[in-house]
Structure 1
Amino acid sequence: MVMIFKKLKRSYLFLLFSLVSLYVNAQQNGNTILVKIDLTKKAQVIENIGAAGCWFSEGIGRYWPDEKKERIAQLLFSRKFDRDGNLEGIGLSAWRFNIGAGTTEQGDSSGIKDFRKRTESFLNKDGSYDWTKQAGYQFFLKKAKDYGVETLIAFSNSPPVQFTKNGLGYKTEKDYVSNLREDAYDAYAEFLAGVIKHFDQQGLHFNYISPVNEPQWDWSRKYKEADQEGSSWTNPEIYKITSALNTTLTKAGLNSKILITEAGMLNYLYAGSGKATRQIQSFFDRNSPLYVGNLAHVPKTIAGHSYFTESNDDVLISTRKHLADTAKTYEVNYWQSEYSMLDNGFREGTTGDRSNMDCALFLSKVIHTDLTVGNATAWQFWNSYEPGSAAVNTRYYLIALQPEPGFKDGKFAVTKNLWALGHYSRFIRPGMTRVLTETLTANSGLNKDLLLSAYKDKNDRTVVVCTNYGKINIELKLDIKNSAKKYRSILSYLTTDAVDMDMKRQSVKKLSELIALPGRSMLTIVVD
């Protein structure tokens, strides 16, 4: 009996020693990471996280069966949970609505080759308005409102064709100046104000109106056809339309804010030598002749697009660091108002197809860097849905469409990009503050594959968004300091490359427990 006890004791000690060794080795290998979060160390306040519904909203919202378009709206806007505690949607807090220029009415003579990228205009040739236009766009706008989306943004790619120099919704001259006629600035401003006023009366208030889009591009047609509506603008021209719109909004008694400048690349906001560059300095330096900081409807916010500034990690980080420093100098907020994987940076040096999960991880990295290095106060994706594969190269959209000819019906499939954005949009709500974090392994090293940021609300409810870019599983130990209240539970939502693992709710944990973060995954932790 004594011999058996001694053997059991030796076996128990050996097992205990083995477990301790495994734990220590895991820590030494960087697999267990201590996450220090100090709620008193505050960064920027988040205003919104959203997406655009350009072009393909019209066909889906106008023609597709109710069951399909209702489900798409639910995926984008819902904040509800199903019976198992899983998410119905990603709860966007901003929605971008495209105000059309009237190229649909021009038909093939519009010069825009893809009929789906032509848009109707509320303004008729005789100067009257037809509010039945853009019915598909209006469907999703109303759904955003019904689901409680906090911020609605109206934007225009081109002035109405009645007001352009060439009578078209895009440029025909590569001169990098506006296509808006010199005598039509007030008319364009009155048109935009009229749209805002109409929707206000419908209970659909646009918090922001954006009159200019990617002014740095020439938007001239190629091969006798254009890809979409668009116009160049110089900085003085942007100042002129902003001033005109500010005056018109004031006279109309409207309280929408004007969002500028939707720069085509982030570096145009602080650098460059063209006609629409150094836009922070041009519009928010008090000594600049183009200063707009004193206009009642212009917030101290500058908007830019993250395209073409993520070719590698050095460019991704340095661009946003420079932008953040410049924005801080001139006391303006930075909005990242449009991004999809337009450039090939998402390939990360590889050739061939990129998987659904590859694209989602890269998207998460760009969002993370815009928020933590660029200090973006808003982040918006382009485009919510487009035709394409849901399995590979899902670079342009959150939801992949397989439309029938004529676009009056079709199928759709959710991509991992939807959930990559959802890890930020669903629980990081408007008004939450990013707080600084520190991540360390047991040997005080750093894990470069872990992308992590934390956010708190006014009650110290804390949300931690994590992306494990590497293939090795890791574990997280949270250490939250200076909370005004005692935390009781941790809920987490996990996305992996598995088919049914899309922000899947994990088991409830205590704050003292380790949190598993598999390789190549995204996890949002809610500490309540």
Structure 2
Amino acid sequence: MLRTGNRLIRRDGTLRASRDRSLRARRPRRRTTLAASLAAVAALLAGGAAPPPAATAATPAALPIRIDPGYQQQPFEGWGTSLAWFAHVTGGWPDAQRNRLADALYSADGLGFTVARYNIGGGDGPETEPYMRAGAAVPGHWKRPGPETPDWWNPEDPEHWDPYADGNQRWWLKAAKSRGADTFEAFSNSPPYFMTRSGLVSGATNPADDNLRSDQYERFAAYLAGALRRVQSATGVTFDSVSPVNEPGTDYWRAGGHQEGSHWTPASQAHMITALRTELERTGLRTPVAAMDETNPDMFRADWDHYGASARAAIGRLNTHTYGTRGRSGPRDIAKGAHTPLWMSEVDLGGTVPQSFTDMRPALDLADRITDDLTQLEPRAWVLWQAVEDYENMSPAHENSNWGLIQTDFTPADAAREPLRKNKKYWAMAQYSRFIRPGARVITTDDTDTLAAIRPGGQGAVVVHTNATGSPRTVTLDLSGFRTVSPSPVQRYTTDATRNVHREADVSAEGRHLTVTLDPGSVTTLVIPGAAGVNPEATAIPSAALRLLVNDHSGLALTAAVTGGGSPLVQHAPNSGDTAQQWVFTRSLPGDWSSTATYGVTNVGSGMALAVAGDTLILAPPGPSPWQRWMLSTTGDGHITLINSATGALLDVTGASTDDGAPIGVHRPTTGGNQSWTLPAGHRPAPARREANRRERTG
């Protein structure tokens, strides 16, 4: 991430607002008009911190929201924060004060975080005058015992390591672990100064250049592995992963900037990833390599497309940031196709309003980002950039913004008495992190303001809804997708301008429907203890019923051209009665409702199954081969992508053609509409009609 003054910098170096709704990949909103949306925004702006008065018009009908447990993401690993700057500062504060901060983030009465990302600092030379923002000069783990000479550092020499380096961040690792954190990642922003071209850890002189010298890959890998081993030994923490590059494709890491950073081309990223994997194995560390912590999903996908097989094989987990939000389906489908877990490993929002600890607008923006990230990206963990920010730097005299969940002065006159100021983002975060716990499975909804999850163990559900409008909103949750819904009371918790995760009166479901009115400018969590299982008759996930596959870009349907020359799979105008367009999805493991469940997809007319041979889509006799197994991705809006389990390629209209008769094939994930499909029901035609269809196709 990069900030300057009161502006947020795009990852391409241009200015943008931190809340950029126009760039988000959104599911269609079916419930509001443009006028109503503008009126709601105007009401919130006029009201500032306080919620606007409810509209005097007639109460609108309840908004129906379908909760569908038939599509269950992989078990969630948890919520967390990078430590980095704030831990480097506050880890050295008086014991009572730093423990208050640790409780606020990692205790059950706080946010209940379970993930911590530890920053392995590169470290500038001792002769360099301080130039970074408060907290950003994270110490390196090297020690220079004498005068500097060319290539003086030897990773095999214990005298060249500082065994006590970075004690403040180390304190935070132990504090997080003692409060229940169980997932730890180490990450690097820059190599040490003596491995760089510029001699500084803030970037190259030309920000478009890599800063690591071309002869230093193996030495930097040895530095990361050595630091990892020493921190683990000193803290008792075991790192689950180590990430060697951070936001590598951006060109704003400049020598003399105010934080560590380094540019890496895709080729140099791949080199670093494989070098680190080799070094970890050489030294007996089995820690997975995470990559590539790119700034946004589109840049992540572009980097991945350039990696060769060896770099991809060296990666044990994929990481992306969401400072930009377009193309979330790219990392999602790449991770599924690579059978590799995915994290949203860094983001925060400063908001579009001045520094405030009571205004709900930054909190609503954060809630919106969390909901979209979890539904569209399907990450196994969601990690904030840094939960504690520098109050002075956020003040009107400087950035005048709302980064962080807690703000405190990083250069206080008296750290023991320095206030720990929680803003509304803190409480909005709690609406998610206290209730959607590790082991939960996010499930789909058909509403963009609603996130839902099944609780660990499968008994009970949690629903979090954001009402960012200036009026109360009545919603009716359709729970018919669950196998059972017992009449247990539903708990309700609310954060708005005047309340912080406040327990409201319980509500009750009527049969399989729950109706509740949500306050304006609020985030509400509903805990439904009696919801369990999956009702196969009510889920939107395809079963044995006949389906068409209609492409979202062309509007034409996948058709099996069983005779004649050319491609065996083409697109034609949809005809629900044509057996050449009818497909049956057969789940490989009955009862597997996970988002990585695989399906055989069989054509009704030919009896043949969709399969991949090399880079070609074919029809083959049905069988158990992974080349005939397809994973399905969806956000719950009725649109899907289909990912081949063996190759990771997606069902794709070749060349994004809209022509009738254009071939259908497979291609790497692009996030294009020609890889997105809907599944309308097919209908078996009468025998005479089936024969007519056959004659029409064969000429």
Letter in 2 for 1:209: V
Offset, 1:327: 4.9
Measure, in 1, the Cα distance between the counterparts of 2:252 and 2:81. Answer: 23
Letter in 2 for 1:203: G
Offset, 1:381: 1.1
Offset, 1:238: 1.3
Do the aligned partners of 2:135 and 2:410 also contact (CA within 8 Å) in 1?
no
Do the aligned partners of 1:451 and 1:469 also contact (CA within 8 Å) in 2?
no
**1:375 maps to 2:408:** no
Letter in 2 for 1:183: D
Do the aligned partners of 2:395 and 2:401 also contact (CA within 8 Å) in 1?
yes
Correspondence for 1:97: 118
Residue by residue, what CA displacement relative to the aligned partner does 1:261-293 show, whole Å, maximum 9, x if unpaired?
A: 1112322122xxxxxxx123233xxxxx35433
Matches within 5 A, 1:28-427: 29-30=60-61, 32-62=62-92, 64-79=93-108, 88-103=109-124, 106=126, 109-110=128-129, 112-114=131-133, 116-126=135-145, 127-174=159-206, 176-201=208-233, 202-221=235-254, 225-270=256-301, 278-283=302-307, 289=308, 291-295=310-314, 298-299=315-316, 301-307=317-323, 309=324, 316=325, 318-324=326-332, 327-328=335-336, 332-341=340-349, 346-347=351-352, 356-388=359-391, 394-405=401-412, 408=415, 410-427=418-435
Measure, in 2, the Cα distance between the counterparts of 1:175 and 1:478. Answer: 50
Offset, 1:219: 4.5
Measure, in 1, the Cα distance between the counterparts of 2:129 and 2:395. Answer: 34
- Sort the Cα spacing of 1:163 and 1:424 in 2 relative to 1 into closer, same or farther, 3 A: same
Correspondence for 2:623: none
Letter in 2 for 1:304: T
- Sort the Cα spacing of 1:183 and 1:172 in 2 relative to 1 into closer, same or farther, 3 A: closer
Correspondence for 2:473: 474
Do the aligned partners of 2:86 and 2:386 also contact (CA within 8 Å) in 1?
no
Offset, 1:208: 1.3
Offset, 1:487: 6.0
Measure, in 2, the Cα distance between the counterparts of 1:239 and 1:218. Answer: 18
Higher relative contact order, chain-length normalized (CA < 8 Å, sep 6+): 1
Do the aligned partners of 1:335 and 1:376 also contact (CA within 8 Å) in 2?
yes
Offset, 1:517: 1.6
Instruction: Report the secondary structure of 2:382's partner residue.
Output: strand
Letter in 1 for 2:384: F
Measure, in 1, the Cα distance between the counterparts of 2:355 and 2:196. Answer: 41
Do the aligned partners of 2:170 and 2:231 also contact (CA within 8 Å) in 1?
no
Letter in 2 for 1:293: R
Offset, 1:328: 4.9
TM-score in terms of structure 1 length: 0.77
**1:490 maps to 2:481:** no
Residue by residue, what CA displacement relative to the aligned partner does 1:121-159 show, whole Å, maximum 9, x if unpaired?
A: 222124532232212111211111111112111111111
Do the aligned partners of 1:360 and 1:416 also contact (CA within 8 Å) in 2?
yes
Root-mean-square deviation (Å): 2.9
Do the aligned partners of 2:297 and 2:330 also contact (CA within 8 Å) in 1?
no
Instruction: Report the secondary structure of 1:117's partner residue.
Output: coil
Offset, 1:379: 1.6
Residue by residue, what CA displacement relative to the aligned partner does 1:403-438 show, whole Å, maximum 9, x if unpaired?
A: 445785532201111222222222222332111224
Q: Sequence identity of aligned pairs in percent? A: 27
Offset, 1:395: 2.9
Measure, in 1, the Cα distance between the counterparts of 2:330 and 2:121. Answer: 34
Correspondence for 1:16: none
Measure, in 2, the Cα distance between the counterparts of 1:246 and 1:384. Answer: 30
Instruction: Report the secondary structure of 1:206's partner residue.
Output: coil
After superposing on structure 2, the runs of 4+ consecutive aligned residues of structure 1 that deviate more than 6 Å are 351-355, 389-392
Runs of at least 5 residues in structure 1 that lack an aligned partner in the other structure: 1-24, 80-87, 271-277, 284-288, 310-315, 440-447
- Sort the Cα spacing of 1:176 and 1:406 in 2 relative to 1 into closer, same or farther, 3 A: farther
Correspondence for 1:462: 461
Offset, 1:525: 1.8
Do the aligned partners of 2:249 and 2:266 also contact (CA within 8 Å) in 1?
no
Give the number of aligned pairs: 449
| Structure having the higher Rg | 2
Correspondence for 1:522: 523
Do the aligned partners of 1:91 and 1:425 also contact (CA within 8 Å) in 2?
yes
**1:433 maps to 2:441:** yes
- Sort the Cα spacing of 1:198 and 1:334 in 2 relative to 1 into closer, same or farther, 3 A: same
Residue by residue, what CA displacement relative to the aligned partner does 1:60-108 show, whole Å, maximum 9, x if unpaired?
A: 111x2222211111110111xxxxxxxx2111121111111123x626x
Measure, in 2, the Cα distance between the counterparts of 1:188 and 1:382. Answer: 24
Instruction: Report the secondary structure of 1:280's partner residue.
Output: helix
Do the aligned partners of 2:367 and 2:466 also contact (CA within 8 Å) in 1?
yes
Letter in 2 for 1:251: R
Measure, in 2, the Cα distance between the counterparts of 1:486 and 1:252. Answer: 54
Do the aligned partners of 1:335 and 1:377 also contact (CA within 8 Å) in 2?
yes
